[in-house]
């Protein structure tokens, strides 16, 4: 299995798809392509997982929906603010490039989420996210999603705060 340690997520307009360019510990790269349909399913599941199992909700189970959304918004903003700047994984160096057919999602202890990208006949690629990293990645994907002008109804209200003035959404490749 191709174990990724870094990931650059970018909407490619000419393909009308997301390209996830990953790098493993040895510096090998792979480009994975996600259709809107598969991306919607993946993002919806990940957002539900964050909403239902994050420390924010488990420590405050009696909160009403608006208070829960506010807590999620604060947690999301904090994660986004701590997003480190990194150089993009160079997609031109990819040893493989393929369209993802399915994604397995493994939820571990302490909010760790593992994604295994699959296509029949090729070696799977996997990446793991801790909750903070997952929130950061979802923020990146959402910025690219808005650039793609794909339907935004899958994104919860607590993620919309990053669209407020003063919060930048990059149109460049992001990591």
Q: Work out how many domains the chain is built from and give that number.
A: 1
Indicate the average pLDDT of the chain: 82
| CA distance linking residue 23 with residue 21, whole number of Å | 7
Distance CA 32, CA 38 (A): 12
Q: Residue 74: what pLDDT?
A: 55
For residue 5, the number of C-alpha atoms closer than 13 Å in the C-beta half-sphere is 5
In a domain, 114, yes or no: yes
- At residue 70, the pLDDT reads 65
Helix axis angle, 36-53 to 65-81, nearest 10°: 110
For the beta carbon of residue 63, count every other beta carbon within 10 angstroms.
14
Assess if residue 170 is contained within a domain.
no
The model's pTM is 0.79
The residue range of the domain holding 102 is: 2-163
In a domain, 101, yes or no: yes
Task: Assign 92 a pLDDT band (cuts: 50, 70, 90).
Answer: confident
């Amino acid at each position: 299995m191709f174990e990724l340690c870094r990931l650059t997520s970018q909407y490619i307009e000419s393909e009308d798809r997301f390209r996830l360019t990953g790098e493993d510990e040895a510096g090998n790269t792979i480009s994975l392509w996600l259709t809107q349909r598969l991306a919607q399913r993946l993002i919806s599941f990940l957002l539900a997982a964050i909403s239902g199992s994050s420390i924010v909700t488990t420590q405050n189970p009696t909160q009403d929906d608006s208070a829960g959304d506010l807590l999620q918004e604060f947690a999301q903003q904090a994660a986004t603010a701590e997003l480190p700047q990194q150089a993009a994984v160079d997609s031109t160096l990819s040893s493989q490039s393929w369209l993802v057919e399915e994604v397995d999602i493994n939820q571990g202890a302490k909010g760790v989420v593992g994604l295994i990208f699959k296509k029949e006949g090729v070696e799977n690629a996997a990446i793991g996210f801790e909750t903070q990293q997952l929130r950061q990645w979802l923020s990146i994907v959402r910025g690219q999603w808005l650039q793609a002008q794909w339907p935004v109804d899958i994104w919860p209200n607590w993620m919309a705060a990053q669209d407020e003035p003063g919060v930048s959404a990059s149109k460049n490749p992001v990591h």
